[in-house]
A and B are shown apart, each in its own frame.
Chain A
Amino acid sequence: MKQSVFTIESNDRIAENTFRMALTGDTSAFTRPGQFANIKLDGFYLRRPISVCDYNANGLILIYKTVGEGTEYMSQLLPGGKLDLLTGLGNGFDTALSGENPLLIAGGGGVPPMVKLAKTLIAEGKKVTAVIGFNKASEVYCEDALKKLGVNVFVTTADGSYGVKGFVTDVMKSLDYSFFYTCGPLPMYRAIRKTVRTEGQYSFEERMGCGFGACMGCSIKTRSGAKRICKDGPVFDSAEIIWEEPKK
Chain B
Amino acid sequence: MNEAPNMKIDLCGLELDNPIIPASGTFGYGYEFAELYDINILGSFSFKGTTFEPRFGNPTPRIAECPGGMLNSIGLQNPGVHAVIENELPKLKKCFAKKVIANVGGFSVEEYAKTAQLLDECEQVGLIEVNISCPNVHNGGMSFGTSCEAAAEVTRAVKRATTKPVFMKLSPNAADIAAIAKACEDAGADGISMINTLLGMRIDPKTRKPVMANKMGGYSGPGVFPVALRMVYQVYEKVGIPIIGMGGISSAKDVIEMMLAGATAVQIGAANLTEPFICRDIINELPYTMRKYGINDLKEIIGGAHNG
List residues of A whose CB falls within 8 A of some B CB: 1, 3, 40, 43-47, 86, 206-210, 212-221, 226, 231, 247
Contact A210 B274 (CB under 8 A): yes
Instruction: Kindly list 19 other residue pairs between chains A and B, CB separation below 8 angstroms, not including A45-B274, A226-B56.
Output: A3-B276, A40-B274, A45-B67, A45-B270, A46-B63, A206-B61, A207-B62, A210-B276, A214-B27, A214-B33, A214-B273, A215-B25, A216-B25, A217-B60, A217-B72, A217-B74, A219-B56, A219-B74, A231-B32
Contact A207 B67 (CB under 8 A): no
Contact A209 B72 (CB under 8 A): yes
Contact A212 B63 (CB under 8 A): no
Contact A45 B276 (CB under 8 A): no
**Which of A43, A207, A213, A218 is close to B32, meaning CB atoms less than 8 Å apart?**
A213
Bound-complex Cα distance A180 to B179 (A): 60
| Residue in chain A with minimal CB distance to B35 | A1
Contact B276 A212 (CB under 8 A): yes
Contact A45 B221 (CB under 8 A): yes
Chain A neighbourhood of B222, CB < 8 A: 45
Q: A45-B69, A213-B28, A215-B25 are in contact. Are A1 and B276 (CB under 8 A)?
A: yes
List residues of B whose CB falls within 8 A of some A CB: 25-28, 32-33, 35-36, 48, 56-57, 60-70, 72, 74, 77, 211, 213, 221-222, 270, 272-274, 276-277
| Residue in chain B with minimal CB distance to A2 | B36
**Which of A3, A45, A86, A219 is close to B70, meaning CB atoms less than 8 Å apart?**
A45
Bound-complex Cα distance A1 to B274 (A): 13
Contact B274 A216 (CB under 8 A): no
Chain A neighbourhood of B74, CB < 8 A: 215-217, 219
Q: A45-B70, A213-B32 are in contact. Are A208 and B274 (CB under 8 A)?
A: no
Q: A1-B35, A210-B276, A226-B77 are in contact. Are A217 and B65 (CB under 8 A)?
A: no
Contact B56 A207 (CB under 8 A): no
Q: A1-B36, A45-B70, A226-B77 are in contact. Are A217 and B276 (CB under 8 A)?
A: no
**Which of A43, A45, A207, A213 is close to B60, meaning CB atoms less than 8 Å apart?**
A207
Q: A45-B70, A219-B57 are in contact. Are A209 and B63 (CB under 8 A)?
A: yes
Chain B neighbourhood of A1, CB < 8 A: 35-36, 276
Bound-complex Cα distance A247 to B60 (A): 11
Interface of B is mostly: loop
Q: A1-B35, A215-B25 are in contact. Are A210 and B273 (CB under 8 A)?
A: yes
Chain A neighbourhood of B27, CB < 8 A: 214
**Which of B25, B60, B66 is close to A219, meaning CB atoms less than 8 Å apart?**
B60
Chain A neighbourhood of B63, CB < 8 A: 46, 207-209, 215, 217-218
Contact A216 B276 (CB under 8 A): no
Contact B61 A207 (CB under 8 A): yes
Chain B neighbourhood of A221, CB < 8 A: 56
Chain B neighbourhood of A210, CB < 8 A: 26, 272-274, 276
Interface of A is mostly: loop
**Which of B28, B60, B64, B211 is close to A220, meaning CB atoms less than 8 Å apart?**
B60
Chain A neighbourhood of B67, CB < 8 A: 43, 45
Q: A214-B33, A216-B77 are in contact. Are A44 and B61 (CB under 8 A)?
A: no
Contact B28 A214 (CB under 8 A): yes
Q: A1-B35, A1-B276, A226-B77 are in contact. Are A217 and B62 (CB under 8 A)?
A: yes
| Residue in chain B with minimal CB distance to A84 | B275
Chain A neighbourhood of B211, CB < 8 A: 207
Task: Give the most central of B36, B48, B62, B273: most A CB within 10 Å.
Answer: B273
**Which of B26, B56, B65, B66 is close to A215, meaning CB atoms less than 8 Å apart?**
B26
Shortest Cβ gap from B131 to chain A (Å): 15
What are 19 A-B pairs at a CB distance below 8 A? A44-B65, A45-B274, A47-B274, A86-B276, A206-B61, A207-B61, A208-B63, A210-B276, A213-B28, A213-B32, A214-B26, A214-B27, A214-B28, A215-B26, A216-B57, A217-B63, A217-B72, A217-B74, A219-B74
Task: Give the most central of A86, A207, A208, A216: most B CB within 10 Å.
Answer: A216
| Residue in chain B with minimal CB distance to A208 | B63
| Residue in chain B with minimal CB distance to A206 | B60
Chain B neighbourhood of A213, CB < 8 A: 28, 32
Bound-complex Cα distance A247 to B209 (A): 13
Bound-complex Cα distance A45 to B77 (A): 23
Shortest Cβ gap from B112 to chain A (Å): 21
